[in-house]
A and B are shown apart, each in its own frame.
Chain A
Amino acid sequence: MAGSYPSPEVDFSAAWNLTPVSAGDWLVVAPTVITMIGGAVCLMARKNTNAQPKLGLIFLTLLVLANGGLLLRVLDKGVITMVMGSWLPPFGIAFTVDTLGATMSLIASVVALCAGMYGASSVGSTGRRYGFYPFLLLLMTGVCGAFLTGDIFNLYVWFEVLLISSYGLLVLGNDRPQLDGAVKYGILNLIGTNLFLIGTGLLYGILGTLNMADIAMKISQLDAPAHGTLATVAALYLLAFAMKAAAFPVNFWLPASYHTPNVVVSAVFAGLLTKVGVYALLRIFVMIMPASREYMADLIAVVAIATMIVGALGAIAQSEVRRALGYLVIAGIGSMLAGLAIGTPLAISGAIFYAVHSIIVMTALYMVAGVMQQMGGSYDLRKLGGLYAASPAFAAIFLILAFAVSGLPPFSGFWPKVMLVESAIVTGRTWVAVAILVGGFLTTIAMGRIWIYAFWRGGPEGTADGTAVALPATSKLLTPAAVWVPICILTALVIYFGIQPEGMFTLSAYGSIGNVDPSGYLNSVFGGAQ
């Protein structure tokens, strides 16, 4: 029937970007596409439990390669934009990748690859049959999508993708504590995303656009860019992403749930999920609503300090290793929020560096906790002991990670703290600098307690001084490689970023400057239109 209509001459370039997408730019969507296909393939093969880890690792390796290529391309060409359906911005859903998004996405995929390896040993055939690898891959779809998207409603969708996958991982195994933790995690996180959605709806009502670059431009042209309904939107975003990032006082779902699932699931969650919240805070408050960030800087600083101190004190008060680590995740979030509160380019790049460091070190620590449980038979500090005698090499790895998470040199946690403390002092917020140092000190105590109880003393509680208790499972320690390789990779990264921080300095500085002054981002989105 098409022939019965006249075919008018239509100027397609008014609506579409007619330049074909160059081959390299397809990398922008590669991370989400690879993980989605990988999740589907693993799901189809879910009954073949032996093939699951292999399939999963193949797709996770591809993901790391794609993200690595994407980061190199961004460093080479600047910000890359790809609009679904080639619509001219602000129409159509844009994926816009800058250094911040590409760096976070790369580190997240490296950590996911390590978790995939670790899962090959710690997730049994039941866990595999019920979908550990499909859930892990789809979780990465959500995480990478959130890091790479340039559309605020699309960000909500990726949040939901990662949330539903995380529910699946969290209840994998169906134990009583897991169900208990999942109820709290599930409801509170769903409320958090709903708050985000309310804010997005209001923002759309004010500005009539959902494209982040367009929003950033339109907000900067408003008369009072921090007041009126925008203040409501900013407050809703702050609350929603603070819930996602587990900032005080909306952090209680994290210690209630993160210690319940399989330890590798805890490791992935601790590494990735809260940092997606931090990433969203950075993206929205640094790039899109800088005036609102300035307006709320003191509030964010207070929240950051409370988060740091509550997290570190909580870790000291725990006798379960995984629960203590859960609190340390929260303490780290406080440091990143401090960077957001200070808001200078140096502070923002400190927050980015800290996020990268925290992704690596928290995942590694949970994996180490899994090994501690294998060696000592428990996660309880009262029942652990003598691990140093059992394996000095493993004790050394724990000590390195403990130094890193406390922010002691020469490991990866030291440099971001230097940047944060320096920028706090330069901007006259000495109290924030003091809080960061006190938080680091308390974290050192918390890690020192685990070190003394689990590693240094001779045996579990009640062992007499000077005597040592032989551990039953000592012979099984050095196998399998699936446990040791990921831990060693992550520890090596911690050492590398500590000794050779220049690369991370550059990446985080690019990421920070690209958000403080988003002209590169805006040009990339609207360059085709002008």
Chain B
Amino acid sequence: MELGLAILIGIFFTVSIYLMLSKQLVRMLLGVAILGNAVNLSIFTNGRLTREVPPVIPADLYLPAEMTANPLPQALVLTAIVISFSFFAFLLVLAFRAYQELGTDDVNEMRVAEPENDPLPPQGY
């Protein structure tokens, strides 16, 4: 089970890095989204995988009778999902605004902040 997930996470990382190396902003954002999912899956796997045992404690006991799933990675993943989703939403809007204003989604052509043919700095006094 861990092995299967590890391979899946590896595929996610590969795909996301491939997409993030692209020049197109939309592809990069898709890459970032997949990267977030890869990270979440890896946290989940790092918390160890167990069989699905409901965390129900019988009335006469203080602890579950069998080992239940580790809740902490689930809490971490939940936090990370919310954060990465909101960032993804923000970046999508930002990319769309940038596309509207700059007329391109090719990052090589986004040279407004750092103009390409900037004249040389002054050389004499």
Contacts and interface: CB of A to CB of B under 8 A. Distances in A.
B83 interface: yes
Given A187-B32, A204-B46, A205-B46, A179 B91 contact: no
Given A197-B43, A204-B73, A457 B110 contact: no
Interface in A298-329: 317-319, 323
B87 A257 contact: no
Given A157-B83, A181-B113, A204-B47, A318 B121 contact: yes
A259 B46 CA distance: 40
A260 interface: yes
B27 to A, nearest CB: 11
A360 to B, nearest CB: 26
B113 to A, nearest CB: 4
A180 B98 contact: yes
Contact of B90 (A156, A164, A194, A256): A164
Interface string B84-117: 1011001100110110011000010011111000
Nearest to A200: B43
B39 A201 contact: yes
A108 interface: no
Interface string B2-33: 00000000000000000010000100110010
A183 B32 contact: no
Q: At the interface, is chain B mostly helix, strand, loop or mixed?
A: helix
A291 interface: no
Contacts of A176: 101-102, 112
Contact of B121 (A181, A183, A317): A317
A260 B115 CA distance: 12
Contacts, number: 117
A381 B25 CA distance: 33
Interface residues of A, number: 47
Given A176-B102, A202-B42, A164 B113 contact: no
A227 interface: no
Contacts of B47: 204-205
Nearest to B76: A153
A480 interface: no
A163 B39 CA distance: 18
B113 A180 contact: yes
A255 B121 contact: no
A168 to B, nearest CB: 9
Contacts of B68: none
B69 interface: no
B110 A183 contact: yes
A177 B42 contact: no
Interface string A156-195: 1100100110010001001011111111101100110010
Q: At the interface, is chain A mostly helix, strand, loop or mixed?
A: helix
Given A191-B35, A457-B125, A164 B86 contact: yes
Contacts of B73: 201, 204
B32 A191 contact: yes
A453 interface: yes
A148 B101 CA distance: 40
A485 interface: no
Contact of B25 (A183, A197, A198, A318): A183
A265 to B, nearest CB: 14
B122 interface: yes
A461 interface: yes
A520 B83 CA distance: 33
Could you say which of A174, A182, A194, A317 has the most chain B C-beta atoms within 10 Å of its C-beta? Answer: A194
A87 to B, nearest CB: 12
A259 B113 contact: yes
Contacts of B39: 194, 197-198, 201
A188 B38 CA distance: 17
Contacts of B91: 183, 186-187, 190
Contact of B113 (A156, A257, A452, A457): A257
A381 B121 contact: yes
A260 B113 CA distance: 7
Could you say which of B91, B97, B121 has the most chain A C-beta atoms within 10 Å of its C-beta? Answer: B121
Contacts of B120: 319
A157 B82 CA distance: 11
B98 A183 contact: yes
Given A187-B91, A190-B91, A256-B114, A179 B43 contact: no
Contact of A194 (B35, B102, B118): B35
Nearest to A183: B98
A323 B46 CA distance: 42
Given A201-B39, A205-B47, A164 B87 contact: yes
A191 B76 contact: no
Could you say which of B20, B28, B76, B107 has the most chain A C-beta atoms within 10 Å of its C-beta? Answer: B76
A240 to B, nearest CB: 11
Contacts of A182: 94, 98
Contacts of B46: 201-202, 204-205
Nearest to B88: A190
B116 to A, nearest CB: 12
Q: Top 9 nearest A-B pairs by Cβ distance?
A: A205-B46, A201-B43, A319-B121, A177-B113, A180-B112, A180-B113, A181-B113, A179-B98, A201-B46
23 contacts: A156-B80, A157-B83, A167-B94, A176-B101, A177-B113, A179-B101, A180-B110, A182-B94, A183-B94, A183-B110, A184-B107, A184-B113, A186-B91, A191-B32, A194-B32, A200-B43, A204-B73, A204-B76, A257-B113, A381-B122, A382-B122, A453-B122, A457-B125
Given A167-B90, A180-B113, 16 more contacts: A176-B101, A178-B113, A179-B94, A179-B101, A183-B94, A186-B94, A187-B29, A187-B32, A190-B32, A194-B36, A197-B43, A198-B39, A201-B73, A319-B119, A381-B121, A382-B119
Interface of A: 153, 156-157, 160, 163-164, 167, 171, 174, 176-184, 186-187, 190-191, 194, 197-198, 200-202, 204-205, 210, 255-257, 259-260, 317-319, 323, 381-382, 449, 452-453, 457, 461
